Amino acid sequence: MQTQKLTIAVVLLLLSILAYSQNDKVYSKTGDIIIGELKSLSRGVLVFDTEYADSDFEIDWDEIDAIEISNNFLIYTADGDRFKGGLKPLLGQGRLIRLITEDAEITMRLDEIVEIVSLKKSILDRFKVSIDAGISITKEHNVRQKSIASNFNYRGDKWLVAASFNGEGTTQDGVDPIERVEGGLTMTRDIFGNTMVFGGMEFLSTTAQDLDLRSTGKLGAGYFFIRNNRVYFFGGAGLAVSNEKYGGENPSQSNNLEGLVQTELNAYNMGDFSLLAKLMAYPSITDKGRWRLNTDIILKYDFPLDFYMKLSLIHKLDNKPPDSTNKTDYSFQTSFGWEWN
């Protein structure tokens, strides 16, 4: 009898915990009400978990009329404000919402909210991982082209840690292989409003420019000039220190102190398409008149089940490389991949 009572008590406790965790509500513009647990809001997409579905729902933020969530969230606005609290709906008032914190209640429009992070997230829930690959084979001259890329992001309460890797190679009969490998690790910390500081390392090796290895450490500050549920535009500046090792006919090695100017545009509310454009300029301080420019443009199309196709243009420019070394290196990639978040 005591065993049965204990079993019933445990079941009731588990049901109460489940009921508590499934008390968030989403009111869609079509009149539907979804009850479950909000996971996150990022880049215009709300991730919502329900007990009657095997996988999470992904809902466009523009399709939501109101929302109700507990006070266990970090809520970021387009103005750069950051709140800890919850949201209560103001039904029938044109997407108005009430943000409730420990100290105040603030009325705002849903459009003003650009990111929601759950304070109950586990370590794994804070990661976003993607990997993609591409291959091309041509019979004439036995041309083989392959590429692989991966990205890892971790979102903390104030920190964003991003790591990336991109490798590609081309082989052809009678021609030396062409290879490019690059990667990096960047850490960004929110300071106040839309301002943050960043630091990190990046690496590049490319046979097209006889560059055995360039390692670059960078440190700077940036600002979100535009940040909403359709697009963000980020700009930053700082300093960089690079170490370069060139091969080829005239091997050389050098250390350089450089300035850093970067911009990043991300448009993600275009149906299943998204566009990322990054520009990084390194004007040299120790080598007067020299500057480097890195450009990445990525067009992505999302398929069901978290698969995607990606078109990438990567361009590297160095206006004063060592003698007999190419000033430019570029590639165009088509790849297919999968992401987990």
Q: Give yes or no for a contact between 23 and 35, defined as CB atoms under 8 angstroms apart.
A: yes
Length of the chain: 341
Whole-number pLDDT of residue 20: 43
User: Ramachandran region of residue 42, left (φ > 0), alpha (ψ -120 to 50) or beta?
Assistant: beta
If one compares 30 and 205, the residue with the highest pLDDT of the two is 205
Residue 65 CB partners (closer than 8 Å, separation 6+): 27, 28, 29, 91, 95
CA 43 to chain centre: 9
Res 122 pLDDT > 90: no
- CA 75 to CA 61: how far, in whole Å? 14
Q: What mean pLDDT is predicted for residues 231-235?
A: 95
Query: What rounded mean pLDDT belongs to the chain?
Result: 87
Whole-number pLDDT of residue 22: 53
Q: What mean pLDDT is predicted for residues 277-281?
A: 97
- pLDDT tens, residue by residue, 255-268: 999 999 999 999 98
C-alpha count within 13 angstroms, C-beta hemisphere, residue 27: 18
Segment among 5-14, 93-102, 290-299, 304-313 with least mean pLDDT: 5-14
Of the candidate CATH numbers 2.60.40.1120, 2.40.160.40, 2.50.20.10, 2.60.120.370, the domain formed by 125-340 belongs to 2.40.160.40
Whole-number pLDDT of residue 3: 54
Task: Report domain extents, the chain.
Answer: 22-121, 125-340
Strand partners, 226: 233
Res 149 pLDDT > 90: yes
Q: Give yes or no for a contact between 152 and 160, defined as CB atoms under 8 angstroms apart.
A: no
If one compares 182 and 19, the residue with the highest pLDDT of the two is 182
Grade residue 48 by pLDDT with cuts at 50, 70 and 90.
confident
Residue 176 CB partners (closer than 8 Å, separation 6+): 207
